[in-house]
Amino acid sequence: MLAALSGVAAFAMASFGYRPKPLPDFKTEKLELDSTILDVTTIAENLNVPWEMIWGPDNMIWFTDHDGKVSKLNPKTGHVTELLQIKDYYRKRLGLMSMVLHPDWKTHPQAFINYTHIQPDSVIVSKLVRYTYNGKVLIDPVLLKQIPGYLGHNGSRLVISKDRKLLWATGDLKQKETIRDPAFAHGKVLRLNLDGTIPNDNPHPGSASWAMGFRVPQGLTFTKNGNLFIAEHGDATDDEVNLVVKNGDYGWPYMAGFSDLPEEKEHAKTHKSTFPVKAWTPTIAPAGMEYYNGNISEWRNALLLSTLKDQSLRILKLDADQEEVVAEDIAFSKQFGRLRDVCVSPSGDIYISTSNRDWNPPANFPLKTDDRIIRISKSGVIPKSRRTVKTRQETKHSGASELYQNFCQSCHKTDGRGVVGSFPSLVTSARLSGDNEALIAFLLKGSQSASGEAMPAFGFLSDDQLATLLSYARSNFSTNKNTVKPDEISRVRANK
């Protein structure tokens, strides 16, 4: 139930009394939902991948970025103040900058920050450090916990529960073998006391592990009734949103999404997995997530999920018990580029941040003014006589270019040239121009490389889809223009 943006740039018309007029240089566009009119306003630009945004106790937006910086943004003026530059922060590919503020701010003005660090012996670690706010800047770092890290696949996201426990979503570090072991911190939701010690009522004594079996979670949020939801990146299939329960096993690496493949069904015979409340194939690359119950009526009681690959804000409407996703809307599709995080103010305004200056920019981005923080706020109501139910146009995923777009483009890019150091170019690929059988076998099985990103296994696609994809890639990017036939795929599959 979503409208297209009006596309008309105009200055904000503040028709609600609670928010002062923005400065004249804030450009505002209108978006109409079924009955609500929204103002969509860029309030900060020229940022570098804001990773985490939090509505602070001082009514400022506290945010971290890809440079290891913590700042705060005055949402009324757009003014940004730097609070901290983390000195021992390390990023080669993907930054890691989650933050949460102490809920008892008056007595404990503290920020908990998770970031990566490289040791003198070149080992990458992931640190949880508590800083104190002295009214101007963040000082006195105290290391609460240190766990293994990696170039990517670190996760992460931090939240604090009502009972004052720190929940920390960690990525799998590409270490699949030990994800199920509570002695290891990766691929988990960890639960800690606010001093970094392990609570007595964790499911495995002496372990921070609260739930396990996650791949790369970057979204973690409590709903109004205290349910905890996590959003994570799948591999070639099945990005997921899950409801996190104590000692839950969420399946990775044996289960992606639901139990539908033969090896997953086999695994399910001996292991109890918890299945997602929502899964996406083709993948959308979900990042930050926040529960919404504000004044935008169409989006009340929903999880707001920012996505990178899909470049959209997903509105996942929940049931009354806040346990299931009952409907999904998509907003701002491809409009602002990759979206990394979302934050909600007490008055019901929503803030989203772009991630177009990260390691994997989409076509046509970054813009000169990227990255940005954008406010979405209710500015009025459509008169009853003028209301229409707006429906989103469904995109078809059957043609060759759609298949490429859904399964290949986010890595190998529109022009097939990939990203140097991360994703190989198809234009210069000896594999793509080489022998059909070897090429098909590679596509079916995927590969794990020590450096760079792994090639996922695409065996879940049909013979027709794979033949269409390979023929498309050859015809667009390779010197070898020979098509690949579905029966060739079928033969290689049978010989596997």
Instruction: Give contact residues for Ca ion (rule: CB under 5 A).
Output: 240, 250-251, 256-257, 260
| Phi/psi at 262 (5° precision) | -55, -45
- Per-position DSSP letters for 321-356, written without gaps between them: TS-SEEEEEEESTTTSS-EEEEEE-TTS-EEEEE-T
Report the nearest approach of Ca ion to the CB of residue 313 (Å).
Answer: 23
Residue pair 2/393 in contact by the 8 Å Cβ criterion: no
Report the nearest approach of Ca ion to the CB of residue 81 (Å).
Answer: 40
Report the nearest approach of Ca ion to the CB of residue 238 (Å).
Answer: 6
Q: How far apart are CA 490 and CA 180, in angstroms?
A: 34
* Residue with smaller CB distance to Ca ion, 257 or 288: 257
* Residue with smaller CB distance to Ca ion, 172 or 240: 240
* Residue with smaller CB distance to Ca ion, 31 or 228: 228
Report the nearest approach of Ca ion to the CB of residue 475 (Å).
Answer: 31
Which residue's beta carbon is nearest to the bound Ca ion?
A: 251
Report the nearest approach of Ca ion to the CB of residue 252 (Å).
Answer: 5
Report the nearest approach of Ca ion to the CB of residue 249 (Å).
Answer: 9
Q: How far apart are CA 416 and CA 399, in angstroms?
A: 17
Neighbours of 361 (CB within 10 A): 16
Dmax over CA atoms of the chain, in Å, equals: 69
* Residue with smaller CB distance to Ca ion, 63 or 252: 252
* Residue with smaller CB distance to Ca ion, 240 or 341: 240
* Residue with smaller CB distance to Ca ion, 31 or 179: 179
Q: Is 379 left (phi over 0), alpha (psi -120 to 50) or beta?
A: alpha
H-only helix segments in 294-435: 400-407, 409-412, 430-433
Tokens 């989409």: give the residue.
Answer: 362
Report the nearest approach of Ca ion to the CB of residue 225 (Å).
Answer: 23
Residue 168 burial by Cβ neighbours in a 10 Å radius (0-12, 13-18, 19+): buried
Question: What is the Cα Rg of the chain in Å?
Answer: 23
* Residue with smaller CB distance to Ca ion, 251 or 288: 251
Tokens 């996201």: give the residue.
Answer: 157
Neighbours of 311 (CB within 10 A): 23
* Residue with smaller CB distance to Ca ion, 400 or 454: 454
Give the tokens for residue 78: 């757009």
CB-facing half-sphere around the CA of 440: CA atoms within 13 A? 26
Report the nearest approach of Ca ion to the CB of residue 219 (Å).
Answer: 14
Residue pair 308/340 in contact by the 8 Å Cβ criterion: yes
Strands (E), 236-332: 239-244, 278-280, 286-292, 302-307, 313-318, 325-331
Report the nearest approach of Ca ion to the CB of residue 184 (Å).
Answer: 18
Give the tokens for residue 477: 């990017």
* Residue with smaller CB distance to Ca ion, 89 or 254: 254
Report the nearest approach of Ca ion to the CB of residue 190 (Å).
Answer: 17
Q: How far apart are CA 163 and CA 201, in angstroms?
A: 12
Q: How far apart are CA 476 and CA 401, in angstroms?
A: 10
* Residue with smaller CB distance to Ca ion, 250 or 291: 250
Report the nearest approach of Ca ion to the CB of residue 234 (Å).
Answer: 8
Residue pair 172/189 in contact by the 8 Å Cβ criterion: no
* Residue with smaller CB distance to Ca ion, 303 or 376: 303
